[in-house]
Amino acid sequence: MKRNLDAIVAALTLEEKASLCSGLDFWNTKPLERLGIPSWMMTDGPHGLRKQSTDSARVGLHDSLPATCFPSGAGLAATWNADLLGEVGAAIGEEARAEGVGVVLGPAVNIKRSPLCGRNFEYFSEDPFLAGELAKGYIKGLQSRGVGASIKHFAANNQEKSRMIIDVVADERSLREIYLPAFEAAVRDAKPWTVMCAYNRINGTYCSENPWLLAQVLRKEWGFGGVVVTDWGACNDRVAGLAAGEDFEMPGNGGITDADIVAAVRNGSLPEDCLDAALRRILELTFRVADAPPAPRFDAAVHHALARKAARESMVLLKNEARLLPLDRGSGSGSALGGRTGSPAPAPAGAPTARAGHPPAGRGRIAFIGAFARTPRYQGGGSSHIVPARMDDALAEARRIAGDIDYAPGYRLEADEPDPALLAEARETAARSDTAVLFVGLTERLESEGFDRSDMKLPRSHLALIEEVLKVQKNVVVVLSNGAPVEMPWIDRVPAVIESYLGGQAWGGAVADILFGLSSPSGRLAETFPRRLEDNPSFLNFPGDARKVEYREGIFVGYRYYDAASVEPLFPFGHGLSYAEFEYSNLRLDRAEMRDTDSLTVRVDVRNVGQVESQEVVQLYVEDEEASVQRPPRELKGFCKIDLRPGETKTVNFTLAARAFAFWSPEHGDWVVETGNFIVSVGASSRDLRLRASVRIESTAPDIRVWDASASLGEVEKTPAGAAFIRSIKPRFAATFGSYEPGSAEAEMMEEMMRGFPLRNLVRMGHQVTECEIDELIDTLNGK
Ligand code: BGC
């Protein structure tokens, strides 16, 4: 319905205006019946709906209505499948609409600066491009169902320690290149209805009242027209917040800050126009929610099947020596070694059908060891905690696929301390089996909103279990359930490892599908797994002091650092194996030279040379070969997940516009592509690049340098006028510096040293050049 927002705003009293800018309680907005303004509800996300079933005046983390629990953000990101995130977003949207929810608080796209951040399980990636593409998929899917997204936490909320007050000290280039682009891509392309501003400060100012962040970057540069809502309790100075672009405060606070707003308008310190502008945005959102089409019907079984698909695609096969996986479906414990003669149990609904021609593998009698096999660790703690609609366990699902499987719990859930009796039982079970699948990971109390981890270690009880089983069994598959990287001191002794992340309610079925080859693994790491925490670039500056954290590693976050410093990771960004194999060929660029205003089309052929159908994630990285500023060796600028049958070839297309080649230039206050050669590489991970090609780009960025006498001869020499000038004055240097045989080592050393001389020294040292000549050159360089 079309409404005249200006008329509504004009009809409001100042008190009403102020009051409509904050919540009624924890989840609802305030109604105003007099003017037909309805109340509506927002709830968490992001990987399912957390609609509190009890009193909205308090925050009840575990008493929400049952909803489909999808894999949490880290797992969803490992799918590298933006379309799939769209399907998940749409399903969450359907459940939200059915519950009358207007906005779901997600996706959460903060960058994984350190493996220790307590909310990494909720976040997508260490890479801003990947995080941005996935966020776009999720938001478009969610909003297609008439439910708004709230992309969060804007911005640089990369740790839990002191999150509500910490001052993030970061240079603009790092913010622009690493911490903001996921938000930027989503805002520009997917148009989320709301943006949630973070608790922390950036360079001294709280995000909720940061004019640079909200007014300049978000609204002016990216054109965000929606509502900025505070994270719950992120409002500091309400009046400063409104002036900077913070529209809506959550949760409600009983009118305390409404009074601040009224007083500020009355005493002239806050222009009423500014309040009106926020109100218009809030009203627009309110009516958008009110006018959303009726709730579509959804089928919980279909959503569960989607959760299983998402969980399957999120699983990353880290290692698979001697093709231990997939396990033979006919090799349950009732069988003789080498497989049963009977046919396997029928696959459950929603599972993919078995692939013909699958190579027999597996190792006879199988044991599942580890309590997670029965009681999954499927999500993290805090505000994203979903009450799952139903719950699969891996053991039951695997038995449906492969018959009898032995089981031993191995450890007590939530206990760090190993239990000798459970270890002994696990060892005996493993010794009796031909293959042991160990279910280990991080316990619930190690991963939650509100605090960071203190190390990357598995609980002692899980480590002891791995060691105990390895004493008697070498065919070991480790299935990890955790939301962020862990150290793996046992990695060289374990032939197969699956990183299954926190896989949501259908994790059990999904992991069974992968273990028994009903589906080929297609998850890829959206983050680097370092060997040791100390290898991580933020190590010395995470989590900082009590009130301040300095992002001293700058743009060298994640693989950007490991590649630049040649630090060997445990598993690199983008890594993930498959039961198939892929061949890359025929990389072609549609041009060898271009201007930065053109775009480049890249094509590559990918063929499945394995024996099973599988998905491959084709990754594209760009390297600037001749940068004048520090740049990472390569950066992800494209990816595409494709499905290939055995023998099938597909051509993958990428389009790269200027931004794919650009860096943020604080001097230009803009993205700049420098003239020079760029390498485009394509492959299966950041460290498995199969093909490369180069393109030369001509920059159209304005030359904004103002030359003066502090310019070095080396810099001047790079310009045509400067090079000519240096050639002309060179003979005069001999009087001061002596003459050297051209081409000799001494001559080369001398020239290199001279390149560091500022122009002014040519006049002062030896008086070989006049001030007038220098001034003339500077004028020429400045185009005068
Ligand atoms: C979290 C947000 C969440 C909000 C509402 C905050 O503590 O940081 O991510 O959406 O609470 O539960």
Over the chain (784 residues), what is each successive 10-residue block's mean pLDDT? 92 98 96 96 96 72 89 98 98 96 98 98 98 98 97 98 97 98 98 98 98 98 98 98 98 94 98 98 98 89 98 98 93 37 40 40 81 97 94 97 96 96 98 97 93 97 98 98 98 98 98 98 98 98 97 98 98 98 98 98 98 98 96 98 98 98 97 98 98 98 93 94 91 77 88 90 80 94 92
Instruction: Return d(Cα 59, Cα 149) in angstroms, integer.
Output: 20
**720 Rama sector, left if φ>0, alpha if ψ -120 to 50, beta otherwise:** alpha
Instruction: Return d(Cα 261, Cα 15) in angstroms, integer.
Output: 9
Nearest CA to ligand 1 atom 6: 232
Site to substitute for ligand 1 among 49, 195, 232, 452, most atoms within 8 A of C-beta: 232
Query: How far away, in angstroms, is 232 Cα from ligand 1 center?
Result: 6
Strands (E), 561-719: 582-589, 593-595, 600-608, 614-624, 635-644, 649-656, 663-665, 670-672, 676-685, 688-698
pLDDT score at 343: 37
Ligand 1 pocket: which residues have CB below 6 Å?
44, 105, 152, 231-232, 383
pLDDT score at 244: 98
Alpha-carbon distances, residue 591 vs 432, 601, 698 (angstroms):
61, 8, 13
Q: What sections of 111-250 are H helices per DSSP?
A: 128-143, 172-174, 181-190, 211, 238-244
pLDDT score at 354: 40
Instruction: Return d(Cα 209, Cα 214) in angstroms, integer.
Output: 8
pLDDT score at 764: 79
Up-side HSE of residue 104: CA atoms within 13 Å toward CB?
35
Query: How far away, in angstroms, is 237 Cα from ligand 1 center?
Result: 19
Q: What is the β-pairing status of strands 676-685 and 688-698?
A: antiparallel
Q: Which residue has the tokens 């943006």?
A: 195
Instruction: Return d(Cα 90, Cα 144) in angstroms, integer.
Output: 7
Nearest CA to ligand 1 atom 5: 232
pLDDT score at 762: 86
Whether 326 contacts 362, CB under 8 Å: yes
Q: Is the pTM of this model over 0.85?
A: yes
Whether 435 contacts 363, CB under 8 Å: yes
Whether 739 contacts 730, CB under 8 Å: no
Instruction: Return d(Cα 141, Cα 34) in angstroms, integer.
Output: 35
pLDDT score at 355: 38
Count of helices and strands (H, E) across the chain: 22, 25
Instruction: Determine whether 416 is exposed, middle or buried from the number of CB atoms within 10 Å of its CB (0-12, 13-18, 19+).
Output: middle
Query: How far away, in angstroms, is 162 Cα from ligand 1 center?
Result: 15
Site to substitute for ligand 1 among 41, 101, 105, 162, most atoms within 8 A of C-beta: 105
Whether 44 contacts 105, CB under 8 Å: yes
pLDDT score at 59: 63
Strands (E), 184-308: 194-197, 201-202, 205-206, 227-230
Strands laid side by side in the 582-589 sheet: 582-589, 600-608, 649-656
Tokens of 298: 């959804």
Whether 553 contacts 567, CB under 8 Å: no
Query: How far away, in angstroms, is 139 Cα from ligand 1 center?
Result: 18
The DSSP letter of residue 124 is -
pLDDT score at 371: 98
Catalytic (active-site) positions = 231
